[in-house]
C-alpha cells in the first residue's frame, strides 16, 4: 500500500480568489507533513509610501489596496484619522457610512456567494458555465450585485475606488429623495437575499468542523460595521487602540503577506462566521429568522457553510440599508471641520472578509508619519493553513487530482483576498514518491 509514500498536492494558480496565490501540501504516507499557502502577489508597500502624505489622501490611497473592498479601506482610514484628531462625525454621516458599507457587503458577498463559491458546489468552472444550466439564478445574482453597486455609486460616485469618503464625513451627501429612489430595488433585494439563504442552505457541505477562536467587532445595539469592541469567543474584549498589544504579525518565507496571530494563542478566524457567531443576537429580525428557518444557529464551525452565513449577511445588509434610507435626514454639512494635531489613531471596521485594522501617526501639519494596515486575509492566512492541515488529512486516501480540487474549494470558503493581504496565495500538494 502507500504506507510511507510521499505525495504532493500543488495548485499553481488558485482560481476564483482575488489576487495571486498558490497551495502546496506535502503528504508522507497518512500524515500531512507540510502545508503552505503561498502568496506570490507582488508586494506594493502601501505603508511605506503613506509616510509623508497628507491625512486627506489616506482614504483615496488605501482604497487602491483592494478593488473588491475599497470602502472597507476608506472607512478604516477615516475612522483611524478621526480618532487621532479627536473628530466626532454627525449622526447622519454615521448612518450614511453604514449604508455605504451595506452597498459594499451586498456587492462583495453576492460576487462571492454566486460567482466565486457556488460553482464549486454545483460542479462548474465559473458562473458563466453555471448560467447555461442555472440562468435564473445567475441573473438574480447579477441584479442583486448591481443593487449593491448602485448604493456605492450613489454615495461614492463609482463602484470601484469611490471618491466621496472624507475625514469628518463625505465630500458630498445625497438628498433624501435620492436615497428613497433605492427603496423598491432594496425591497426586491431583501426578498432575493432571503431566497439566497434557502438556496445556499440546500447545498451539500463536507463534514468539517473546527474549534476556532472567532474574532469580530461587537457593538451594544447593532450588527457591526464601523464601531464596537473587538471580541472573541475566548475572552478577548479590547478597544482598537489595544489591537497591537494582543495581535502580532509574522513574516514567513513562502508568503508576501504577513501572517497574523493572537499573542500566546496562535491562529484565529475573522469574517462572516466570526461575526455571525459573536453577533447573532444583533441581527435584525429578518436576517435572524432567515437563518433559523434553515436551522442555522451559532456556533457555526464549518467554514464551508460560510456561503450560507454570507447569504444571511446579505439579508442583514439589505434590511439595514432599508432602515437607513427610511430614517435619513441630510446633515447640516457634509463633513465636520477638522484641525491638525499631533496624535495616533487606530480603527477597526468589518470588511466583507473580516476585520481591517488601520493605525496612523500624524504630525501637526496633517502629514502621516507612520501607517500600519492589517487586512482580513492576513489575519485568516494562518488559520487557512491550519485548516488545510486538518482537511488534507481527511483526503489522504483520495486520488491527488480530487484531493487538490477539494483543497482549492476549502480555500475559497474563506473568500481570501490576496491583493489585500500582500503586504498575500498559490496550492501545491506534495506526496513523496507514490509507488511502494
Partner 1 sequence: MSSDAKHKPRVDKPTIDKPRIGVFKFASCDGCQLSLLDAEDEMLAVAGAVEIAYFPEASSAMLKGPYDMGLVEGSVTTYHDAQRIQEVRRQCKTLITIGACATAGGIQALRNWKDVDEFIRVVYATPQFISTLKLSTPIAEHVPVDFELRGCPINKHQLLELITATLAGRKPNIPSYSVCIECKRKANVCIAVARGIPCLGPVTQAGCGALCPSYDRGCYGCYGPMESPNTTSMSSQFRILGQADSQIVRAFRGFNAWAWQFRKASEECER
Footprint of partner 1 on residues 214-273 (CB under 8 A)?
249-253, 256, 258
Between 217 and 338, name the residue whose CB sits nearer to partner 1: 338
Using CB under 8 A as the binding rule, the residues of this chain from 333 to 362 that contact partner 1 are 334
By CB under 8 A, is residue 406 in contact with partner 1? Answer: yes
Exactly one of 5, 33, 142, 344 binds partner 1 (CB under 8 A); which one? Answer: 142
Smallest distance, partner 1 to C-beta of residue 423, A: 6
Determine how β-strand 21-28 pairs with β-strand 427-431.
parallel
Q: Tell me how far apart the alpha carbons of residues 6 and 401 are, in angstroms, rounded to a whole number.
A: 15
- Would you give the DSSP letter of residue 344? E
| C-beta separation of 223 from 320 below 8 A | yes
| C-beta separation of 167 from 82 below 8 A | yes
Between 203 and 238, name the residue whose CB sits nearer to partner 1: 203
CA angle 111, 178, 312 (to 5 degrees): 30
By CB under 8 A, is residue 411 in contact with partner 1? Answer: no
Smallest distance, partner 1 to C-beta of residue 10, A: 13
By CB under 8 A, is residue 103 in contact with partner 1? Answer: no
| C-beta separation of 169 from 88 below 8 A | no
Smallest distance, partner 1 to C-beta of residue 182, A: 16
Q: Which of 78, 17, 69, 60 is nearest to 358 (CA)?
A: 78
Q: Which of 24, 20, 19, 18 is nearest to 116 (CA)?
A: 18
Number of residues lying near partner 1 (CB under 8 A): 82
Between 31 and 158, name the residue whose CB sits nearer to partner 1: 158
By CB under 8 A, is residue 16 in contact with partner 1? Answer: yes
By CB under 8 A, is residue 104 in contact with partner 1? Answer: no
Using CB under 8 A as the binding rule, the residues of this chain from 151 to 210 that contact partner 1 are 157-161, 163-164, 166, 171-172, 202-204
Between 232 and 404, name the residue whose CB sits nearer to partner 1: 404
Between 161 and 229, name the residue whose CB sits nearer to partner 1: 161
Between 10 and 64, name the residue whose CB sits nearer to partner 1: 64
Using CB under 8 A as the binding rule, the residues of this chain from 309 to 328 that contact partner 1 are none
By CB under 8 A, is residue 400 in contact with partner 1? Answer: no
Q: Tell me how far apart the alpha carbons of residues 196 and 412 are, in angstroms, rounded to a whole number.
A: 18
Between 62 and 349, name the residue whose CB sits nearer to partner 1: 62
By CB under 8 A, is residue 416 in contact with partner 1? Answer: no
Contacts of residue 48, Cβ cutoff 8 Å, sequence gap at least 6: none
Contacts of residue 134, Cβ cutoff 8 Å, sequence gap at least 6: 122
Mark residue 429 as left, alpha or beta (left: phi above 0; alpha: psi -120 to 50; beta: remaining).
beta
Amino acid at each position: 500500500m502507500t504506507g510511507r509514500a510521499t505525495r504532493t498536492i500543488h495548485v499553481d494558480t488558485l482560481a476564483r480568489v482575488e489576487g495571486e496565490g498558490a497551495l502546496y501540501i506535502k503528504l508522507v504516507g497518512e500524515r500531512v507533513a507540510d502545508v503552505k499557502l503561498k502568496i506570490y502577489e507582488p508586494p506594493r508597500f502601501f505603508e511605506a509610501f503613506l509616510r509623508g502624505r497628507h491625512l486627506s489622501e489616506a482614504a483615496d490611497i488605501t482604497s487602491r489596496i483592494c478593488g473588491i473592498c475599497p470602502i472597507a479601506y476608506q472607512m478604516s482610514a477615516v475612522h483611524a484619522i478621526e480618532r487621532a484628531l479627536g473628530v466626532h462625525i454627525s449622526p447622519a454621516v454615521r448612518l450614511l457610512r453604514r449604508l455605504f458599507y451595506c452597498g459594499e457587503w451586498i456587492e462583495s458577498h453576492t460576487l462571492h456567494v454566486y460567482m466565486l463559491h457556488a460553482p464549486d458546489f454545483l460542479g462548474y468552472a465559473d458562473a458563466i458555465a453555471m448560467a447555461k444550466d442555472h440562468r435564473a439564478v445567475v441573473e438574480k445574482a447579477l441584479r442583486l450585485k448591481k443593487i449593491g453597486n448602485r448604493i456605492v455609486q450613489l454615495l461614492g460616485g463609482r463602484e470601484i475606488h469611490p471618491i466621496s469618503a472624507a475625514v469628518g464625513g463625505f465630500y458630498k451627501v445625497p438628498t433624501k429623495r435620492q436615497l428613497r429612489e433605492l427603496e423598491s430595488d432594496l425591497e426586491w433585494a431583501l426578498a432575493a437575499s432571503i431566497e439566497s439563504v434557502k438556496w445556499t442552505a440546500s447545498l451539500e457541505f463536507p463534514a468539517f468542523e473546527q474549534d476556532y477562536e472567532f474574532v469580530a467587532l461587537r457593538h451594544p445595539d447593532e450588527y457591526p460595521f464601523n464601531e464596537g469592541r473587538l471580541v472573541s469567543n475566548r475572552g478577548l474584549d479590547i478597544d482598537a487602540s489595544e489591537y497591537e498589544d494582543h495581535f502580532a504579525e509574522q513574516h514567513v518565507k513562502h508568503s508576501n503577506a504577513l501572517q497574523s496571530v493572537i499573542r500566546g494563542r496562535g491562529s484565529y478566524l475573522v469574517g462572516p462566521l466570526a461575526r455571525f457567531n459573536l453577533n447573532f443576537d444583533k441581527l435584525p429580525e429578518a436576517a435572524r429568522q432567515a437563518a433559523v428557518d434553515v436551522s442555522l444557529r451559532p456556533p457555526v464551525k464549518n467554514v464551508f457553510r460560510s456561503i450560507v452565513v454570507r447569504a444571511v449577511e446579505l439579508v442583514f445588509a439589505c434590511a439595514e440599508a432599508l432602515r437607513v434610507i427610511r430614517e435619513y435626514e441630510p446633515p447640516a454639512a457634509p463633513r465636520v471641520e477638522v484641525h491638525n494635531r499631533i496624535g495616533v489613531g487606530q480603527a477597526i471596521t468589518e470588511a466583507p472578509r473580516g476585520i481591517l485594522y488601520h493605525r496612523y501617526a500624524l504630525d501637526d501639519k496633517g502629514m502621516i508619519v507612520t501607517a500600519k494596515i492589517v487586512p482580513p486575509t492576513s489575519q485568516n492566512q494562518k488559520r487557512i493553513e491550519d485548516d488545510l492541515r486538518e482537511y488534507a488529512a481527511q483526503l489522504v486516501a483520495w486520488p491527488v487530482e480530487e484531493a487538490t480540487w477539494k483543497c482549492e474549494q476549502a480555500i475559497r470558503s474563506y473568500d481570501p483576498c490576496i491583493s489585500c493581504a500582500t503586504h498575500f496565495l498559490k496550492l501545491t500538494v506534495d506526496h513523496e514518491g507514490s509507488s511502494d
